[in-house]
């Protein structure tokens, strides 16, 4: 979607494209000169998942190859080093993080409006203006009307806005959903070169990674991304809704799209994904509940999270409403590389992150985030960990999702109550507990489930802070009735940060 900014000479400038601006919509016209920078310092600053480093480099290098002479592709240590070598006048599409935004503005570069979202900052500010609470549900309905998605005139298709009741079922009594494997790319010589470079840099001690660099599973080109979208719409979307929140140990993908890496690299636009899903509903290829569930994610949650990132004050990053200060243990940071974790749910999810750099939203929220919340891990450190360990992790998506939604560090902007839950939730929504040494119903003793015990210990620790939250009244009343509260709290104090 070309921008109106293309008029008036802006397109005469060479456009500096970041590694998450790889789709055609980031150019004002197809022949616009481009600058691409591969900075090694970006990879050195953090201990990223190796598959993430692979994806970013592969995406940049594929784009450089596609653009040929049109692109000036510089492989350097720092951005500054590259920019000092470029003589052409440059501009940028607004980067996706505050830090990069400050950087390009400090360099005096003209900044064009973002191109990988359907909501501008001004539109969100207008919507938010005068509202007491910025509820996602209200935002999502506004998006549906404004963008004319899944609407029959002024009414939502099918007469209902929300199919959560039909969706979010427990998993079936089977090892997998039985769907075809998600779309997979065929690696090429660019991937081979990336892998060889990463091996060499690691050997030379220039960078260090977590996780495994298995065969690349996410798209890095527009053509690949379109194939992955088409595959999802045909094979997974029809099943998306009912099992959206369910987890199966042998089926990490379930019916999820696995398109977040492609969306976040700018290879797909959320509107085209939503429109493709709506077309499947209109043609009878996918049921309404699944299509509504998917739209809720891709033009509801994703746009909401993006907008919140720019809307909240700068101190959001350092908020810590529950005063959680524990550091993350090495077994977690290393994605349980040494196999120390006994808890079946947590060890399975950490293995999936190690192998894929990805799990769907419920393992992120209810297995990883929930554990960190219960143990009182520092929300900023956890946010940094998610950013590093996930192939789709970027600053804009991490802050609201991790600091806000999962850790309640913002005191309730993203969620009215903390997403803390005991083993009963995981038991209901997964098949993990059957194969576990712990028992989700037991809270004290050798078979006590660390999530069940952790849940009560979390409430015990935060009882004063949460007392004013009406939605926590019932759980806190339950806590006050626990006969073994003292023994449980002591048990969890002794467990500390040891691998559960």
369 binds ligand FAD (CB under 6 A): yes
C-alpha 75/C-alpha 126 separation (Å) is 41
Interface with ligand FAD (CB under 6 A), residue total 28
379 binds, among ligand FAD, ligand SF4, none (CB under 5 to 8 A by kind): none
The answer to whether 52 and 69 are in contact (CB under 8 A) is no
440 binds, among ligand SF4, ligand FAD, none (CB under 5 to 8 A by kind): ligand SF4
C-alpha 410/C-alpha 234 separation (Å) is 39
Residues 243-302 that bind ligand FAD (CB under 6 A): 256-260, 263-264, 294, 297-298, 301-302
Q: Which residues bind ligand SF4 (CB under 6 A)?
A: 343-345, 423, 426-427, 432-433, 436, 438-440, 449-451
CB-nearer residue toward ligand FAD: 398 or 488 = 398
Q: Shortest distance, CB of residue 248 to ligand SF4, whole angstroms?
A: 13
Q: How far is CA 227 from CA 155, 262, 273, in A?
A: 32, 11, 12
CB-nearer residue toward ligand SF4: 439 or 484 = 439
| Stretch touching ligand FAD by CB under 6 A, among 77-85, 200-208, 398-406, 468-476 | 398-406
Identify the three-state secondary structure at position 438. coil
291 binds, among ligand SF4, ligand FAD, none (CB under 5 to 8 A by kind): none
CB-nearer residue toward ligand FAD: 177 or 258 = 258
16: part of which helix (H) or strand (E)? strand 14-17
Which residue do the tokens 């003209």 mark? 110
Burial class (CB in 10 A: 0-12, 13-18, 19+), 73: middle
CB-nearer residue toward ligand SF4: 42 or 433 = 433
Alpha helices in 316-391 (DSSP H): 330-333, 344-356, 361-362, 370-375, 379-389
Q: Shortest distance, CB of residue 222 to ligand FAD, whole angstroms?
A: 16
Two tokens, residue 256: 């999820």
| Orientation of helix 302-311 relative to helix 121-128, angle to 10° | 80
Which parts of 124-240 are beta strand (E)?
151-152, 155-156
Q: Shortest distance, CB of residue 259 to ligand FAD, whole angstroms?
A: 5
What size, in residues, is the chain? 500
298 binds, among ligand FAD, ligand SF4, none (CB under 5 to 8 A by kind): ligand FAD
Which among 257, 344, 333, 349 is positioned nearest to 301, based on CA atoms?
A: 257
398 binds ligand FAD (CB under 6 A): yes
Residue window 24-63: x/- pattern of binding to ligand FAD, with contact defined by CB under 6 A: ----------------------------------------
Two tokens, residue 328: 């993350």
| Residues that bind ligand FAD in the complex, under the rule CB under 6 A | 256-260, 263-264, 294, 297-298, 301-302, 305, 360-361, 364-365, 369, 386, 390, 392-393, 397-398, 401-402, 405-406
């Amino acid at each position: 979607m070309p921008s109106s900014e293309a008029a008036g000479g802006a397109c005469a400038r060479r456009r500096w494209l970041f590694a998450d601006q790889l789709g055609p919509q980031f150019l004002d016209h197809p022949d616009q000169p481009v600058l691409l920078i591969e900075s090694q310092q970006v990879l050195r600053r953090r201990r990223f998942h190796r598959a993430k480093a692979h994806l970013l480099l592969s995406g940049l290098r594929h784009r450089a190859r596609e653009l040929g002479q049109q692109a000036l592709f510089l492989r350097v240590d720092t951005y500054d080093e590259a920019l000092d070598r470029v003589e052409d006048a440059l501009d940028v599409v607004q980067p996706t993080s505050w830090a990069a935004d400050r950087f390009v503005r400090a360099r005096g570069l003209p900044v064009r409006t973002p191109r990988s979202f359907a909501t501008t900052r001004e539109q969100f500010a207008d919507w938010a203006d005068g509202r007491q609470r910025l509820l996602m549900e209200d935002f999502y309905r506004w998006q549906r009307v404004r963008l004319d998605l899944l609407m029959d005139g002024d009414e939502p298709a099918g007469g209902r806005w929300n199919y959560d009741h039909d969706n979010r079922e427990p998993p079936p009594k089977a090892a997998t959903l039985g769907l075809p494997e998600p779309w997979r790319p065929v690696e090429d010589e660019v991937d081979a070169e990336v892998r060889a470079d990463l091996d060499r840099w690691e050997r030379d001690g220039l960078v260090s990674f977590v996780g495994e660099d298995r065969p690349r599973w996410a798209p890095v080109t527009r053509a690949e991304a379109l194939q992955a979208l088409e595959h999802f719409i045909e094979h997974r979307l029809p099943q998306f809704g009912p099992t959206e929140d369910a987890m199966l140990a042998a089926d990490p993908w379930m019916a999820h799209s696995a398109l977040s890496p492609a969306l976040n690299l700018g290879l797909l636009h959320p509107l085209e994904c939503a429109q493709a899903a709506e077309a499947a509903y209109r043609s009878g290829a996918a049921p309404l509940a699944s299509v509504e569930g998917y739209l809720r994610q891709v033009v509801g949650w994703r746009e909401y999270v993006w907008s919140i990132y720019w809307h909240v004050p700068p101190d959001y990053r350092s908020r810590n409403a529950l005063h959680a200060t524990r550091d993350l243990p090495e077994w977690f940071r290393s994605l349980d590389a040494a196999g120390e974790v006994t808890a079946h749910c947590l060890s399975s999810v950490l293995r999936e992150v190690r192998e894929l750099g990805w799990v769907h939203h419920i393992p992120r929220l209810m297995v990883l985030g929930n554990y960190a919340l219960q143990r009182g891990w520092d929300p900023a450190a956890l946010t940094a960990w998610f950013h590093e360990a996930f192939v789709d992790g970027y600053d804009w998506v991490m802050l609201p999702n991790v600091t806000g939604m999962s850790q309640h560090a913002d005191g309730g902007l993203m969620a009215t109550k903390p997403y803390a839950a005991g083993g009963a939730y995981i038991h209901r929504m997964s098949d993990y507990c059957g194969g576990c040494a712990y028992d989700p119903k037991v809270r004290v003793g050798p078979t006590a489930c660390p999530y069940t015990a952790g849940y009560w210990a979390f409430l015990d620790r935060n009882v004063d802070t949460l007392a004013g939250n009406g939605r926590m009244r019932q759980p806190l009343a339950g806590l006050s009735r626990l006969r073994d509260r003292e023994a449980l709290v002591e048990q969890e104090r002794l467990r500390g940060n040891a691998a559960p």
